[in-house]
Every structure is written in structure tokens, then in C-alpha cells.
Amino acid sequence: MNSRIRVVIAKPGLDGHDRGAKVIARALRDAGMEVIYTGLRQTPEQIVTAALQEDADVIGLSILSGAHMHICPRIVELLREQHLDDVRVVVGGIIPDADVPKLNALGITGVFQPGTPMQEIVEFIRVQVRGDAVAKVE
């Protein structure tokens, strides 16, 4: 319970617009989490490998290019193959309303659209990770 929440922040795909990824990485770090930022242009395989090596509780994806419906399913699939089903995946970026339920159905627990306050994301991750951890202890 006392160990810090570990988050891998990743930029999949070819897009280089990293303002959001870097701002949220810093906000999570300032909120006391251990943040690993993968840098740009990561394949789903690289992201899942990073999550495994870093013993991540959460993967945070920043996708602005519209490729989320191609990238997210692949990451979820790879996590299952690696038996990392307990790693939460959240995604932020330009995600149309219509895609939010589809991403939720895939098991992406948090989808953050433009204008979401950092604090809301911090709280969401805390509840997801700590909330579940409490449930397991019980």
C-alpha cells in the first residue's frame, strides 16, 4: 500500500505532438507517482515490454492522431498474452465521443478527452489502483 503507483506514459504511433504526454507525466509525478515516459513513436510491443519491465500499475497512452482504434486493441491483446491483465490502460487525446464506449468495452478503463483537468486523471488513477488494491486485501 505504501509503494508508489507506477505509471508508464507512452506515445504510440508516428505522431510527435507530446505536449499532453509530458504535462500529464509531470502532473502524475508531482502527485507522488513513479512515472516512466517512453518517449516518441513506440510500437504496442515496445509499450507492453516497458510495462512489464517497469512493473507498471498503469499504462497511459497519449494519442492525438485518430489511430486509437487501431493501437488500443493491440495493446490490450498483448497485455493478455503477457498475463498482465491487472495493468490498467488509460488513454488521453483526441477521442471522439462515439469511440469512448468502444474503448471501454475493450477494457480501457479511463478515456480522457480534450479539456480534462490533470487532477481528474490523477484521482482516477489513484482510485483505480488503490481502490482495487484495497479490495484484494479484503
**Binding interface with other proteins (CB under 8 A):** 13-19, 22-23, 25-27, 29, 37, 39-41, 43, 65-67, 69-71, 94, 96-97, 113-120
Terminal C-alpha separation, the chain: 13
CB nearer other proteins, residue 96 or residue 132: 96
CB nearer other proteins, residue 27 or residue 106: 27
Q: How far is the CB of 49 from other proteins (least distance, A)?
A: 15
- In DSSP terms, 35 is beta-bridged to 7
CB 15 within 8 Å of CB 65: yes
Query: Which of 21, 39, 23, 4 lies closest to 90 in space, CA to CA?
Result: 21
Q: How far is the CB of 25 from other proteins (least distance, A)?
A: 5
CB 120 within 8 Å of CB 90: no
CB nearer other proteins, residue 19 or residue 136: 19
Q: How far is the CB of 115 from other proteins (least distance, A)?
A: 5
- Helices then strands, counting H and E runs in the chain, come out as 6, 5
